DNA sequence: CTTAAAGGTTGTAGCCGCTACAAGGTCAAG
DNA sequence: CTTGACCTTGTAGCGGCTACAACCTTTAAG
């Protein structure tokens, strides 16, 4: 078993550094994905103050990582996540139009995908409903729809 | 320029063999994708009767390829397409229940994706509507929603 | 006949966002 | 000192293509 590392000079009892596994547990992002994000430049390279060259994280890293995870959950690409992080880290006095723009563009893409998927579903359903499951393969309307010349 | 190959003994004037490019033009599938399908075993290896070892296709190959393209357009995976092709090629007297089953399973997956995507869209839209594009980044509700602890 | 253009051929790498190893290094507890 | 949990890097795979590079073949034209 492993314990909390760096117990400190026992002042306030909280561990200030996290291993990648602890960070993973806190954020719901696996260690392998965290390392992947680092390679991709979505999160900055972790410090390695441990002699054994383990990655070390602080609570702020957990917040940044949660930001990434939530943005990914909303379907933003890693490129978009990088842009959002850059904006979040830039002059807080600037207007948030850039954020809005990224979000709107993404929403438009989601809508486009929805339109596509709904059309696909309609067509698929049409073919399935026409298909009598007890018919012979030779008469299967689904197969013949797939075989049919346009 | 290239011409129709194998003009034959000028009996019925139609070219019976197609190059991969001609097949591509007829089916709307690029030559590279056709070769990919062959590698993946979705379509059988083409014959190579030409001395130069070019692939040669017949009209039946165009039909099979169109079948694949239509199934792909309906969102079936290549695995599912292979299964559908196997069924289409099997005893035509058997009932088409297998086809129906594959199609139903696929429809269920499409529906699941739709549910997911609709939920994502709702959430994204909620965040966007709450976001005042003229607010400062520091007050951007979208960014704070991404940063917020769960 | 030569030659140039428009095809064809294989093999390999890249896209996206992970995920899953293998082979080894390090740490803390017993 | 051993055990075993955890970490490290590097590499390969997923799906379904797409895009080369480097070379070969066919055909029409000169």
**With b meaning 16 or more CB within 10 Å and e meaning fewer, what string describes A38-74?**
eeeebbeebeeeeeeeebbbeeebbebbbbbbbbbeb
Decide: B107 and A128 in contact? Cβ < 8 Å: yes
Residue B88 CB neighbour total at 10 angstroms:
20
If you average pLDDT over residues B13-18, what whole number do you get? 68
- For residue B136, the cross-strand partners are A95
CA A29 to CA A36: how far, in whole Å? 11
Low-confidence ranges of chain A (pLDDT < 50): 1-4, 6-13
Among all residues of chain B, which has the CA nearest to that of A129? Answer: B100
With an 8 Å Cβ cutoff, is A130 touching chain B? Answer: no
Spacing of B4 CA from C10 C1' in Å: 25
Q: For residue range A35-60, list pLDDT tens digits in order.
A: 999 999 999 999 998 888 999 999 99
pLDDT in the model for residue B150: 59
Among the listed residues A116, A120, A124, A121, the one whose alpha carbon sits nearest the alpha carbon of residue B100: A124
Residue-wise DSSP of A35-86: HHHHHTTSSPPPB--STT---BB-HHHHHHHHHHHHHHHTT--HHHHHHHHH
Residue A144 CB neighbour total at 10 angstroms:
15
With an 8 Å Cβ cutoff, is B134 touching chain A? Answer: yes
Whether the model pTM is above 0.95:
no
Spacing of A133 CA from D18 C1' in Å: 38
Residue B135 has pLDDT above 60, yes or no: yes
Among all residues of chain B, which has the CA nearest to that of A111? Answer: B121
Q: For residue range B28-37, list pLDDT tens digits in order.
A: 999 999 999 9
Residue with tokens 């030409």: B50
Tally of CA atoms within 13 A in the half-sphere of A72 that contains its CB: 14
Q: For residue range B41-74, list pLDDT tens digits in order.
A: 999 999 998 788 999 999 999 999 999 999 999 9
The reply to whether A54 has its C-beta less than 7 Å from any atom of strand D is yes
**What value does the mean pLDDT of chain B take?**
89
Residue nearest to nucleotide D26 (CA to C1'): B2
The reply to whether B49 has its C-beta less than 7 Å from any atom of strand D is no
Residue B85 has pLDDT above 70, yes or no: yes
pLDDT in the model for residue A33: 98
């Amino acid at each position: 078993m492993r314990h909390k590392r760096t117990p400190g000079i026992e002042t306030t009892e909280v561990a200030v550094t996290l291993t990648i596994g602890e960070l993973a547990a806190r954020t719901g992002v696996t260690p392998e994905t965290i390392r992947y994000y680092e390679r991709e430049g979505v999160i900055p390279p972790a410090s390695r103050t441990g002699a054994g060259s383990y990655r070390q994280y602080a609570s702020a890293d957990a917040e940044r990582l949660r930001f990434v995870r939530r943005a990914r959950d909303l379907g933003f690409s890693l490129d978009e996540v990088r842009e959002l992080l850059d904006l979040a880290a830039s002059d807080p006095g600037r207007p948030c139009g850039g954020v809005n723009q990224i979000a709107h563009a993404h929403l438009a893409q989601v809508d486009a995908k929805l339109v596509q998927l709904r059309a696909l579903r309609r067509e698929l359903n049409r073919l399935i409903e026409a298909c009598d499951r007890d018919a012979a393969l030779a008469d299967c309307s689904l197969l013949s729809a797939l075989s049919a010349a346009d």
